[in-house]
Chains A and B, each alone.
Chain A
Amino acid sequence: MANEHPDDMAEFHWMMDMVQTVDVGIVVLDREFKIKIWNGFMESHSGMLPSQVRDKTLFELYPDVSQAWFSRKARPVFELRTRAFMTWEQRPYLFKFPSYRPITGSEDFMYQNITLSALASATGTVENICMMIYDVTDIAAHKNQLEALQVQVSENKEIQATQNH
């Protein structure tokens, strides 16, 4: 009985392994925002084991996250099955994780782009949503550097302009 679909089980096993090891944060939340899945990326960066976070709400673990705001973001995902996005330009991070490169990195924390997408159940209803957390620290650092440089260039131009007068 147990060995009826050994291939299916093996496949399930390596698929779970993939979810665990992929270098993107994956969190599955139910309608009450209780955590169902917390993958390896989340475990490593937060320092919290899946067993510690399971069935706790996102807001218990991260009191800084406003429940009203997050529910508003997630509502269309549950109701309309659209995706919802949070970008680092608006909110540098949702989970305050230390920088991935503690020695050579210039930033103190991980900048994050976050996508929420609906997970359909076998019956077609949406009871869970998946949150994907991307590390965009390098992009953010480059952009910040570029902006600082632009400010410097325009300041230099102004100085030159005043000197010429």
Chain B
Amino acid sequence: MYSVLICDDSMVARKQVAKCLPPDWEVAVHFAKHGQEAITALEQGKGQVMFLDLNMPIMDGYETLKTMGKKGLQSNVIVISGDIQPEAHERVKALGALEFIEKPVKPETLQEVLRKHQLVELEEEEAELDESALPTDIRDCYQEITNIAMGQAGDALARILNVFVKLPIPNVNLIEVSELHMMLQDIQHKDSVSGICQGFIGPGISGEALFILSDSSFGDVAKILDINEEVDDQVQLEMLMDAANILIGTCLRGLANQLDLYFSQGHPVVLGQHRNIAELIKSNKNKWRRTLAIELSYGLEGYNVQCDLVLMFTEESMNVMNYKLSHLLED
């Protein structure tokens, strides 16, 4: 049986890739959060095929490819990245990657690449359309408004924090309760990340923002926020709140401007600290089935800061948003 290794620092992206694999492909799927973990997995004989992200903390995609070369680790590497500069394509291919796929990854593209390199059997079957998937034009539309919101937010952040913000490519998806459950459980089980959620509401649109920061980022966040005190638990928590607040606030404002409305934000809640996440979701399970999730994975240039922001909207909100965005969808 084939072993497939998916290496990406974003949880949603990892699951996204896993979901795009051919459904009848009998493989064992392994995950890695950064290059270092991927190298360890390869050394254990995992990952005959590897899907590799480029922008990651600790060890990025380029370093991973270089290290593999140095150590003589073999794998069929397919790079999946949001970096759309042509030079990135050339560079990874020179380092031994088979192929380059742009984010967000689509099942058809991924399966075509696998067939092209004969990693799966050639089967002439039409890729089934996933009925739960978001129509492409609507997805593009959300992606575009998020991009614009991010541009505005990035500019504001850069000015106030004096840092260069690496603008992420937003990942727009409909996710099921179970997927969110997995994501939150990830946060709970790892001590290395902290999370905050905050409700927001506007006319006809409601949702929650989820902010996840890896704990290794705290030192650098303190530097950026100009905190000179010793970073104890208390300060750390407050920093998490402040960082979340700036990111969620600027991003929501950008979105609200384009939708021509105003979101009011509730008080933020720290996840996992004071309540059990599994229970939190379970009690809500009957109320909703799936949610529109916009995932943003941020980095700051020159700092080891990695954080994920997930904006989740209720299904009902989508009707209102689609209506508000209908002018963008017209030809």
Contact flags (1/0) for A105-123 with B, using CB distance below 8 Å?
0000000010100000000
Size category, B interface: 20 to 34
B160 on the A face (CB < 8 A): yes
**Is A73 interfacial (CB 8 A cutoff)?**
yes
Given A72-B226, A72-B227, A87-B268: A82 touches B241 (CB 8 Å cut-off): no
Q: Indicate if B29 sits at the interface (CB-CB under 8 A).
A: no
By the criterion CB–CB under 8 Å, are A83 and B225 in contact?
no
> Which one, B120-128, B243-251, B284-292, is touching chain A?
B243-251
Closest chain A residue to B157, Cβ basis: A80
Tell whether, in the assembled complex, residue B238 and residue A90 are in contact, meaning their CB atoms are under 8 Å apart.
yes
Q: How many residues of chain A are within 8 Å of chain B by beta carbon?
A: 17
Shortest Cβ-Cβ A-B pairs, 8 listed: A82-B249, A80-B156, A79-B160, A76-B246, A90-B238, A83-B265, A80-B250, A85-B268
Tell me, in angstroms, the Cα distance from A75 to B274 when the chains sit together: 28
Q: Which of A88-131 contact B (CB under 8 A)?
A: 89-90, 113, 115
- Nearest Cβ in chain B — how far from A7, in angstroms? 26
**Does residue B136 face the partner (Cβ distance < 8 Å to A)?**
no
Judged by a CB distance under 8 angstroms, whether B327 is at the interface is: no
Contacts of B246 in A (CB 8 A): 76, 80, 82
A53 close to chain B: CB less than 8 A: no
Distance A117 CA – B270 CA, assembled complex (angstroms): 21
B70 within 8 A of A: no
Asked whether A45 is an interface residue with its Cβ less than 8 Å from the other chain, the reply is no
Contact between B225 and A72, CB atoms less than 8 A apart: yes
Q: Are A84 and B159 in contact (CB under 8 A)?
A: no
B234 at the interface (CB under 8 A from A): yes
Instruction: Return chain B residues, CB-CB under 8 Å to A75.
Output: 160
Query: Is residue A81 within 8 Å, beta carbon to beta carbon, of the partner chain?
Result: yes
**Bound-state Cα–Cα, A76 to B225, Å:** 11
Instruction: Point out which of A73, A80, A84 has the most chain B C-beta atoms below 10 A from its C-beta.
Output: A80
Q: Once bound together, how far apart are the Cα atoms of A80 and B267, in whole Å?
A: 18
Instruction: Say whether, besides A75-B160, A79-B156, A113-B267, A84 and B238 are in contact (CB < 8 Å).
Output: no
Q: Is B112 an interface residue (CB 8 A)?
A: no
